[in-house]
Structure 1
Amino acid sequence: MRILHTSDWHLGRMLEGRSRIEEQIKFIDELCLLVEDEGIDLVLIAGDIFDTVNPPAIAEELFYDALNRLTAGGTRGVVAVAGNHDNPERLCAASPLAVRQGITLYGLPKDVLTPSFPGYSPEGRVVRKAAGQGWVELQIPKCPDPVILTLLPYPSESRLNEVLNSSLDEESLRQDYSKRVQELFALFGQAFRPEAVNLAMSHLFVRGGMQSESERPIQLGSAPTVEVEAMPAGAQYVALGHLHRAQVVKGTLVPTRYSGSPLAYSFSETGYAKSVVLIEAFPGKPVETHEIFLSSGYPLVKWQAKEGLAQVQRWIDEGRDSQAWIDLEVHVTNVINPQDIHSLRRQRERLINIRPVFPETEQITSEARSKLPLDELFRKFYQDKTGGAEPDQELVSMFLSLIDQDKADSKRNVSANLDCIGESAGKEAETA
């Protein structure tokens, strides 16, 4: 049986306000072509299909189009679980229709799946032969052996509807949480049989996994890390979602992997290779896994222009990283003119951030500062706040005039206060 493991599509997600839908469409196209070329029998989607619980219509449309193409008219199995960014009920709303196309959508950890309706055994199509809480058995065309999957969607306390530990001690909570996940895997894994291909899938954070900045926590109730010992020992392969960096989970008894996200979703992922995992499985035998790299996403790169705006312009003219999203750090001596910023963005559409880096300004002691003329003191202050930019003379003059006005107001206030004090003292003397 040939299985493909993917996760963390985050359909609808943006990069600093810029739409990624074009790249996500290209990814779906690449994925659908890949499953055809590789003769995939079963596709596993390990959560975070959407980026928010209320995704835009175009993201939902893309997901349903992907399901329709991946299942190939019900001849290929597709199984998806909800991640922490997904709305479990919304994800599974189409389940009554999906199951007839060989698609299993599973939202909450304690949901109960049901077999295909009685008498449903169409020739050459995926059939859900048996199912229950946290597991499903599929018969897939061209595969002589059934596949049994234990499924654990994102298991936060709120989605489990359980309070696992009332203590505020983080270590105690983590231990109880990990133990509960292990118990659920063991319970669901009772469905495993020696004559079947036995797999597990979940969306969680296993201790020791390498994170990136693009994994934004969205949860109700705590969801700490899970120990490697919690992974189901009876499975031949454990497909995980949640971490965006593709990686093997070390220390587990069975092969356990994060497929990672198909696109880089933050500049912390600069240089990450994006991929999916191909698994070849037979009952009772160790699986073979192969990482297949993707090419549909635009790279995220960081530019450091130490020679200033002229260097940036030269890179643009040369066509450097023409298809990339760019995070720009440019060394300058003065504040960048808004017209220059507009010109750069007009020339390079995917220029996301423009961060000026100013030379370090001279630091002066409090004693030395007290001896500086007011205009020079203001210039130092302005340079500190703007990264070394020089204020124009009009601004300096305006500051000095405000100081003079403040001094004049202070003198008038002091004089008025003295008059009031003198008047009060006179009245008290008369009374006495």
Structure 2
Amino acid sequence: MNQKLPPLKLLHTSDWHIGRTLYGRKRYQEFAAFLHWLAQTIEEEKVDVLLVAGDIFDTNTPSNRAQELYYQFLCRVAVSCCRHVVVIGGNHDSPSFLNAPKALLKTLNVYVVGSSTQSLEDEVLMLCNEQGAPELIVCAVPYLRDRDIRIAEAGESIEDKERKLIEGIRNHYATVGALAEHKREKLGRDIPIVGMGHLFSAGGQTVDGDGVRELYVGSLAHVTAGIFPVCFDYLALGHLHVPQKVGGFETMRYSGSPLPMGFGEAKQQKSVCLVEFHSTAASVQLINVPVFQRLEHIKGDWEAISNRLFELATTNAQGWLEVIYDGSEIIGNLRERLESAISNTQMEILRIKNNRIIDRVLGQAEEETLDDLNVHDVFKRCLAVYEVPEDQRVELLQAYQEIVLSLYEDDVQAQ
């Protein structure tokens, strides 16, 4: 295994969430701008392989416009210097929708693994260079649904479920890793093995409002870096929207989402991972993604808010704003003041939240809406309203989480 190969360049991205809205605003222009920039980056960096680690779409029933953006991008990349594209399904994606055109896309060297396959050999891809010689092995493991990796049994405890989920994920990766190593050994020379996945790693960083769902009941199966096979020369993960390493390892990474999913990510620098292989040694460089739609989170008393709005106005700033008022003064006309402050500017306020409890009591502030709550918050509020005893709430919440998870994982496109 001493034969040297020319450097191989991979680009790792994930969590596009095409079709996602922000407080009712459609964001197709942002998605189109990002995909155009990504295609240009692939050409400028002379990328050989593109890896997309799940959550291509925001829902399992993507709109026609979302689909158009996706397929136009794949067609553009297919005629570029990029020899291969590997796409895995995420927890937001419909496996059947992603898989439907996979045979057609394969003719363009676009490989799609929307869901766990019956034969795990189908998740181990041998990719070849322009001369037809193998240059890379990709273990394209999609989001593993609960039913893919464990058998539910009556009377299971939370600990039993966690153990089975971790074992299921570990066994799945161990199997595909062994298959990849076997393929490499048969070649008789070193080529890189890259793992892919869409899951939640232990210690992973999230931010408020990023829309990252817990993948398993009770926030279980936050896997550690040690669960992945040592044969992986690089691990490309999706699901977490903050760019980060796994367990501090340079070659185990979340690329993060390329667009901020909410105002909590407004100041976060988004990036994609450019990975260069010399034989099986990988080096990683982050390429910053431009800001296509500015988001601004403003929080404070009226003086702090008005000063910041004035600063933005004097610089002719464009953007969407979220304003959180937490001053001591009771302001009954907060929205009117804010709208007046941004009149004749190119800014738009998408969300106003007044943290003054007294204002809520007096009915003078913005009412709390469902946009401020997730499905688990709503259920907990119901339990409180109906005065369900505390000793019953844990079991009811667990049952509710299982129902919600089954709804998320139900592939409505399969019918």
Shared fold, TM over 0.5: yes
Q: Percent identity?
A: 27
Q: Is the 8 A contact 1:136 1:148 kept in 2?
A: yes
Q: Which of 258, 264, 268 is 1:262 aligned to?
A: 258
Partners of 1:313 and 1:246 lie apart in 2 by 29
Q: CA deviation at 1:186?
A: 1.5
Of 54, 57, 82 in structure 2, the residue corresponding to residue 47 of structure 1 is 54
User: Does 2:237 align with 1:240?
Assistant: yes
Query: How far apart, in 2, do the equivalents of 1:383 and 1:310 lie?
Result: 22
Cα deviation 1:41-95 (Å, max 9, x = unaligned):
0000000000000011111110111111122268520000000000001011111
* Alignment pair present for 1:150 and 2:139: yes
Q: 1:161 offset after TM fit, Å?
A: 6.6
- Secondary structure in structure 2 of the residue aligned to 1:138: strand
**Structure 1 unaligned spans of 5+:** 114-131, 362-381, 389-432
Q: Is the Cα contact below 8 Å between 2:319 and 2:347 reproduced in 1? A: no
Indicate whether 1:7 and 2:14 are aligned.
yes
Q: 1:27 to 1:166 in 2, by over 3 A?
A: farther
Q: Partners of 2:313 and 2:19 in 1: how far apart?
A: 32
Q: 1:345 Cα shift?
A: 6.6
* Structure 2: gaps (5+ residues): 1-7, 366-415
Shift of 1:16: 1.3
TM-score, normalised with respect to structure 1: 0.72
User: Is the contact between residue 45 and residue 79 of structure 1 (CA under 8 Å) also seen in structure 2?
Assistant: yes
- What letter corresponds to residue 173 of structure 2 in structure 1? F
One-letter code aligned to 1:39: K
- How far apart in 1 are the matches of 2:346 and 2:313? 10
Aligned match of 1:350 in 343, 348, 351? 348
| Structure-to-structure mapping, 1:71-110, within 5 angstroms | 71-72=78-79, 76-110=83-117
In 1: Cα distance, 2:167 partner to 2:235 partner: 17
Question: How many Å separate the matches in 2 of 1:383 and 1:7?
Answer: 40
Report the equivalent of 2:401.
Answer: none
Residue type of the alignment partner of 1:231? F
Question: How many angstroms does 1:218 deviate by?
Answer: 7.1
CA RMSD of aligned residues (A): 2.9
CA distance in 1, matches of 2:106, 2:276: 24
1:318 is aligned, of 309, 314, 330, to 314
Aligned partners of 1:42 and 1:76 also within 8 Å: yes
Q: 2:227 aligns with which of 225, 230, 233?
A: 230
Query: How far apart are the structure 2 equivalents of 1:291 and 1:306?
Result: 37
Where does residue 267 of structure 2 map in the other structure? 271
Matched, 1:385 2:370: no
Partner residue in 2 for 1:134: 123
**Is it true that 1:298 corresponds to 2:293 in the alignment?**
yes
Match of 1:419 in 2: none
Q: Give per-residue Cα distances to partners, 1:135-192, cap 9 Å, x unaligned.
A: 111113279642111121100213x174166554333322321221121112112223
Pairs aligned (count): 345
Using the alignment, how far apart are the partners of 2:172 and 2:302 within structure 1?
58
Q: Is the 8 A contact 1:273 1:293 kept in 2?
A: yes
Residues 13-22 or 218-227, more deviating: 218-227
CA contact under 8 A between 2:264 and 2:297: conserved in structure 1?
Answer: no
CA distance in 2, matches of 1:273, 1:341: 28
SS at match of 1:23: helix
